[in-house]
Amino acid sequence: MDLVNIFIKGVFIDNMIFAYFLGMCSYLAVSKTVPTANGLGLAVIFVLGITVPVNYILENQILKAGALQWLGDNFVSVDLNVLSLIMFIAVVSAMVQLVEMIIEKFSPALYSSLGIFLPLIAVNCAILGGALFMQERQYSTIIEATSFALGSGVGWYLAIVAIAAIREKIRYSNVPAPLRGLGITYIITGLMGIAFMCFMGIKI
């Protein structure tokens, strides 16, 4: 049950966009139409689902205070947490590159639909944010961490598809000229955030 809790919490309560504003840049820039938003959202779920478990292993086997115990007793006092930022971003960019190469090789159709978004994802705050939240919240098993990653990915996906759908419709309404485009998108996102706040405080 715990896994489902973590997943649902990631989707609704701790939604990456509405509660933490992570991945806002691509959220605003790539949400003009639903199909592109769909592609980017799926790519984010995919990359989060891969990088968070890898970073979890890295964190618990190498970076954490005392994590190097498996090398011998001399290493118990070693604390490599200083390096975690550099290691995490290196893993993220390496994984993104790797995933891109694998997809290109085995599924050219998926590659051509995701292709352009994959390199963008390396610098999407949601991915590094996922790794940093995983470190901060200290999940006890790798399965819990993966469940958290998939939950936040799905939450991000829902948010970007929703805003893309709204932006497609809002083209037909009479928005004050200076607010068109970016301005109204900010305000709509704010209102959606207020709506999402009703999930706050729910204990599952």
Partner 1 sequence: MKSFFNKQHQKLIADPMGDQNPITIQVLGICSALAITTQLENALVMTLAVIFVMTSASSIISILRNNIPNRIRIIVQLLVVASLVALVDQILKAFLPDASEQLSVFIGLIITNCIIMGRLEAFAMGNKLWDSFLDALGNAFGYGWILVAVAFVRELFGSGKLMGYEVPGFNYLYELGYMNNNLMILPPMALIVVGLIIWMQRARNNDLIEEN
Contact residues for partner 1, defined by CB under 8 A: 18-25, 28-29, 82-83, 85-86, 88-90, 93-94, 97, 119, 122-125, 127-129, 132-133, 136, 171, 175-184, 186-187, 189-194, 197
CB of 119 to partner 1, least distance (A): 7
Please say which residue, 22 or 48, places its beta carbon nearer to partner 1: 22
Please say which residue, 4 or 85, places its beta carbon nearer to partner 1: 85
- In degrees, to the nearest 5, what angle opens at C-alpha 30 toward C-alphas 102 and 24? 100
DSSP one-letter string for 110-164: HHHHHTTHHHHHTT-HHHHHHHHHHHHHT-SSHHHHHHHHHHHHHHHHHHHHHHH
CB of 200 to partner 1, least distance (A): 9
Please say which residue, 72 or 178, places its beta carbon nearer to partner 1: 178
Asked if 89 and 128 count as a contact pair (C-beta separation under 8 A), the reply is yes
CB of 1 to partner 1, least distance (A): 27
Please say which residue, 4 or 98, places its beta carbon nearer to partner 1: 98
Structure tokens at 27: 């959220």
How far apart (Å, rounded) are the C-alpha atoms in residues 28 and 16? 14
Cβ-in-10-Å burial (0-12, 13-18, 19+) of 53 comes to middle
CB of 124 to partner 1, least distance (A): 7
CB of 30 to partner 1, least distance (A): 10
Q: Which amino acid is at 200?
A: M
How far apart (Å, rounded) are the C-alpha atoms in residues 48 and 43? 8
CB of 153 to partner 1, least distance (A): 16
Please say which residue, 4 or 94, places its beta carbon nearer to partner 1: 94
Please say which residue, 21 or 111, places its beta carbon nearer to partner 1: 21
How far apart (Å, rounded) are the C-alpha atoms in residues 85 and 97? 18
Structure tokens at 17: 């966009």
